[in-house]
């Protein structure tokens, strides 16, 4: 077996970084943009740390040229960004606002001019508020509105963007947004969360068809799933059943219909007391089960579960925020345990073996389908030193471990074609406000000045050489 610390990645491997629109753009009232559910949620007292919001974020809307130049200076070969739905189609209905599309045209042109491959995500959680007022993702009509939006963006940018992703982490949209309420829109209805999951699946299928009808045939259409790596506390039948229940809710609810054209029977049975699934209409599964060109995998930490006789009391150790309401409908008999090992500032255990296991699972689950790691990274309490430099050896070690896991998966036959570090720069971290820093680039939130951390230089060297520098480097 080759030494994974020195073995080269494939020559065409993409070395990217990822962001999302609401977390970085700011300019929430410019160019005809109207509120998204995250504008409303973050301006609702008590919803985010310190009442913080993305009104300015890191002002990428006005600083994108400098940010792209910084990516090029670091040596990145790809950049994954999301389009703000309410910037392009403010009410979620009707014609596009061209000034909104023009921003993304300029961004894409700037990336291409610097030799950076754009990878576009249509939805990273910023549903137009007017669509939420009409019922949001639990309503079927939202899926059709999303398909219209996809066609608008596909027609505008499909001639110069080859890599497209429909949805980012639909699990979070459905179960954190409508189940536990820790994400926008902040609703706490188990039945609504399952309806939302189905309509997100339907939206993915409809949007995939819309994109393929509006773009050059060679473009790639994918989805990014934050599929969970679920491990049992023991090999007892009860704990293995707990794993299956959480695996269905975290993974099967999306990859079942997307990859196989069906929902797991065990999922339907476990949630029958919550919903009858009657909103799954004839033909829906065929629409959802569109052939994909690639699959994005987002990974941060594994989950450890055990069976319990009563609903767990107190905070869940599932890494998904504090709420009295569970994002796991029908799983009150499952407890989440804290996995052992070092943790990031998010409290998430650092375990690269989970990324390897996830990649190899989908190499088996969808043989022949190219895979991308579309998010992976860590939050640390980064601070500048007296000279203004930001050293983050913990993040370098994290990246070295996880990229080594990717390299091992490639060696073992997985078709992994790229890696997108989360995130390019510190930004608005959803309900955590500006407390958690995931960026490879430090942002002074008072001045918005950008300073590449030592991990950014380390990652840039990996991108330029196709090999992993020493974890003690940079």
Helix (H) or strand (E) holding 101: helix 98-113
Spatial distance between the Cα atoms of 206 and 87, rounded to a whole number of angstroms: 21
132, 139, 375, 429: which is the annotated catalytic residue? 375
Distances (CA, A) of 357 to 90, 351, 366, 396, 409: 40, 11, 14, 21, 8
Give the torsion through C-alpha atoms of 122, 125, 130, 133, to 10 deg.
140
Closest CA to 228 of 253, 204, 205: 253
The answer to whether the CB of 112 falls within 8 A of the CB of 163 is no
Which alpha helices (DSSP H) does 293-434 contain, by range? Answer: 352-365, 393-411
Helix axes 98-113 and 60-74, enclosed angle (nearest 10): 20
Closest CA to 389 of 320, 451, 438, 435: 451
Distances (CA, A) of 265 to 249, 257, 301: 12, 12, 27
Q: Where are the beta strands (DSSP E) in 156-247?
A: 163-168, 220-225, 230-232
Spatial distance between the Cα atoms of 360 and 465, rounded to a whole number of angstroms: 25
Spatial distance between the Cα atoms of 381 and 436, rounded to a whole number of angstroms: 7
Closest CA to 362 of 260, 434, 244: 260
The answer to whether the CB of 394 falls within 8 A of the CB of 382 is no
The answer to whether the CB of 51 falls within 8 A of the CB of 435 is no
The answer to whether the CB of 162 falls within 8 A of the CB of 218 is yes
The answer to whether the CB of 31 falls within 8 A of the CB of 103 is yes
- Which residue(s) pair with 17 in the sheet? 79, 421
169, 365, 387, 461: which is the annotated catalytic residue? 169
Spatial distance between the Cα atoms of 252 and 232, rounded to a whole number of angstroms: 17
Closest CA to 414 of 450, 351, 366, 470: 366
Helix (H) or strand (E) holding 372: strand 371-376
Told to judge if 169 belongs to the known catalytic residues of this protein, a careful annotator would answer yes
At residue 242, the 3 state secondary structure works out as helix
Told to judge if 435 belongs to the known catalytic residues of this protein, a careful annotator would answer no
Is the peptide bond preceding residue 185 cis, with omega within 30 degrees of 0?
A: yes
Active-site residue set: 169, 375
């Amino acid at each position: 077996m080759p030494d994974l610390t020195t073995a080269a990645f494939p020559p065409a491997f993409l070395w990217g970084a990822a962001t999302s629109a609401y977390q970085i753009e700011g300019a929430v009232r410019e160019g005809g943009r109207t509120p998204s559910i995250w504008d409303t949620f973050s301006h609702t007292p008590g919803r985010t740390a310190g009442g913080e919001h993305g009104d300015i974020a890191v002002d990428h809307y006005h600083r994108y040229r400098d940010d792209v130049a910084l990516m090029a200076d670091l040596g990145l070969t790809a950049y994954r960004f999301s389009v703000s739905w309410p910037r392009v189609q403010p009410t979620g209905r009707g014609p596009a606002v061209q000034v909104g599309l023009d921003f993304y045209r300029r961004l894409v042109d700037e990336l291409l001019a610097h030799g950076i491959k754009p990878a576009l995500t249509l939805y990273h959680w910023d549903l137009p508020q007017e669509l939420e007022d009409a019922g949001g993702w639990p309503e079927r009509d939202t899926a059709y509105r999303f398909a219209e939006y996809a066609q608008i963006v596909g027609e505008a940018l499909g001639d110069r963007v080859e890599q497209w992703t429909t949805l980012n982490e639909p699990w979070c949209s459905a179960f954190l947004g409508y189940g536990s309420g820790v994400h926008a829109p902040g609703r706490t209805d188990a039945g609504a969360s399952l309806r939302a999951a189905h309509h997100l699946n339907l939206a993915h299928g409809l949007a995939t068809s819309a994109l393929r009808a509006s773009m050059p045939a060679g473009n790639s259409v994918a989805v990014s799933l934050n599929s969970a790596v679920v491990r049992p506390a023991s090999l007892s039948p009860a704990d293995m059943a707990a794993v299956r229940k959480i695996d269905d809710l975290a993974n099967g609810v999306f990859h079942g219909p997307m990859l196989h054209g069906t929902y797991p029977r065990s999922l339907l049975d476990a949630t029958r007391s919550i919903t009858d699934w009657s909103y799954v209409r004839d033909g829906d599964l065929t629409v959802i089960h569109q052939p994909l060109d690639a699959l994005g995998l987002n990974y941060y930490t594994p989950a450890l579960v055990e069976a319990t006789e009563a609903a767990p009391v107190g905070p869940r150790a599932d890494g998904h925020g504090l709420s009295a309401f569970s994002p796991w409908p029908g799983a009150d008999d499952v407890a989440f345990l804290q996995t052992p090992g070092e943790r990031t500032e998010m409290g998430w255990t650092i375990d690269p073996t989970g990324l390897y296991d996830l990649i190899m699972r989908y190499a088996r689950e969808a043989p022949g389908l190219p895979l991308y790691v579309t998010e992976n990274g860590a939050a640390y309490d980064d601070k500048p030193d007296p000279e203004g430099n930001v050293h983050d050896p913990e993040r370098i070690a994290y990246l070295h471990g996880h990229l080594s896991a990717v390299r091992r998966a490639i060696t073992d036959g997985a078709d992994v074609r790229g890696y997108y570090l989360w995130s390019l720069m510190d930004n608005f971290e959803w309900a955590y406000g500006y407390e958690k820093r995931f960026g490879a680039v430090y942002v002074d939130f008072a001045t918005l000045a950008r300073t590449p951390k030592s991990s950014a230089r380390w990652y840039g060297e990996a991108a330029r050489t196709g090999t992993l520098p020493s974890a003690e480097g940079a």
